[in-house]
Amino acid sequence: MSNHPPQIKLIDTTLREGRQAYPGIDFTLSQSIEIASLLHQLGVDSIEVCHPAVDEEHHMITRAIVDLQLTEVITHARANQSDIDAAYHAGVDWVGIFIGVNEISRATRVQWPIEKIFSCIKESIDYAKSKGLKVRFTVEDSSRTNLSLLLEAYDKAIEAGADCICFSDTVGIIEPHQINKIVVEIKKTFPEVDLEGHFHNDRGLAMANSLAAIDGGINRISCAVNGLGERCGITDTLALAVNLCYKGWRNPLPPKLIQKISDDVALFSNRPVSVSSPITGQYAFLHTAHLHKKAVDRDTISYNWIEPEFIGLQNYG
């Protein structure tokens, strides 16, 4: 890696992956607008919203977020024309096209031979590009995909004009040392391309994998407020942003905004944040033992990894 600090883009998918956190979760239009506006104030680089082909509500919310003109908007589409049309009609800048290529995907999802999947990758990206969309191409279940097959799929996508490729740890199975090596390999093969990582938290490793991927050269991380997402969720946008500030890779975040956006998303999703959650948990900077309290009174850094004021907290114990 070069000596320059990495420039990491935060691709917040609270309004797409977060909407999949459990059956029945639903952000209303006004809640979606509120979340998108706060994400913009927080400085995320891209807002991922819905899957417009699903239904009229997804379409309407995507369109409304686009119309706010806050920042780049990306929406989800399967690798077919009608999903891409739905994304296009919602007015987004980017479409995130995803498909799996490994045996598990072929047995349980599309059930096509690999050659047909490859032509589908090419045709769908060609089509999206012909509509003037920017394309992120994700290999679903990248972690359980043999590296040469993964690189072949990315190669087809890049050849067809994909603007970004995405490694997805769909089932949250990869470990930090593994993702680091894979990212190095992908960057060696495609040094110029933007590379995103999407890490699920099933083994509690989403944040560690995100940091290890950044260390390997990835430049975009998919994340969601309060870590919302299917099953155990994905990398938490707020904790990631603070980690990046701590490492000197992002500017400090606007004070108080972190707590506000976390509280709003917790309320709208009906999913309270655990009191011991990093950064946003009520006890993240609380001290109990007498020894700890005394030391913190002398200097807050004695028992904290960062100054609580760094993230705009005034009230802590």
Map 72-97 to HEC letters. EEEEEEECCHHHHHHHHHCCCCEEEE
Q: Is 166 in the site for ligand HCA (CB under 6 A)?
A: yes
The residue among 58 and 287 lying less far from ligand HCA, judged by its C-beta, is 58
Report the half-sphere exposure of 95 (CA within 13 A, side-chain side).
Answer: 32
Cα 218 to Cα 13: distance, rounded to the nearest angstrom: 17
CB of 296 to ligand HCA, least distance (A): 39
Q: Is 46 in the site for ligand HCA (CB under 6 A)?
A: no
Cα 104 to Cα 94: distance, rounded to the nearest angstrom: 28
Size of residue set near ligand HCA by CB under 6 A = 12
Region of 32-40, 157-165, 166-174, 203-211 interacting with ligand HCA (CB under 6 A): 166-174
Site string for Cu ion, 5-24 (x = CB under 5 A): ------------x-------
Return the one option of Cu ion, ligand HCA, none that residue 166 interacts with (CB less than 5 to 8 A, by type): ligand HCA
Q: Is 199 in the site for ligand HCA (CB under 6 A)?
A: no
Q: Is 138 in the site for ligand HCA (CB under 6 A)?
A: yes
Nearest to 73 by CA among 52, 53, 104: 52
Cα 316 to Cα 200: distance, rounded to the nearest angstrom: 30
Q: Which of 14, 46, 170, 277 binds ligand HCA (CB under 6 A)?
A: 170
Q: Is 201 in the site for ligand HCA (CB under 6 A)?
A: no
Do residues 63 and 36 make contact, with C-beta atoms less than 8 angstroms apart?
no
Do residues 285 and 277 make contact, with C-beta atoms less than 8 angstroms apart?
no
Size of residue set near Cu ion by CB under 5 A = 1
CB of 275 to ligand HCA, least distance (A): 28
Specify whether 292 is catalytic: yes
Instruction: State the pairing for strand pair 220-223/46-49.
Output: unpaired
**Cβ contacts of 116 within 8 Å, gap of 6 or more:** none
Do residues 25 and 269 make contact, with C-beta atoms less than 8 angstroms apart?
yes
CB of 234 to Cu ion, least distance (A): 6
Residues 10-39 that bind ligand HCA (CB under 6 A): 17, 20
Scanning the structure block, which residue is given the tokens 């806050």? 70
Q: Which of 18, 96, 227, 308 binds ligand HCA (CB under 6 A)?
A: 96
The residue among 213 and 296 lying less far from ligand HCA, judged by its C-beta, is 213
CB of 140 to Cu ion, least distance (A): 8
Backbone angles phi, psi at 46, to 5 degrees: -155, 140
Return the one option of ligand HCA, Cu ion, none that residue 277 interacts with (CB less than 5 to 8 A, by type): none
Report the half-sphere exposure of 166 (CA within 13 A, side-chain side).
Answer: 27
**Which residues of this chain interact with ligand HCA, rule CB under 6 A?**
17, 20, 96, 98, 138, 140, 166, 168, 170, 198, 200, 222
- Cite the active site residues: 292
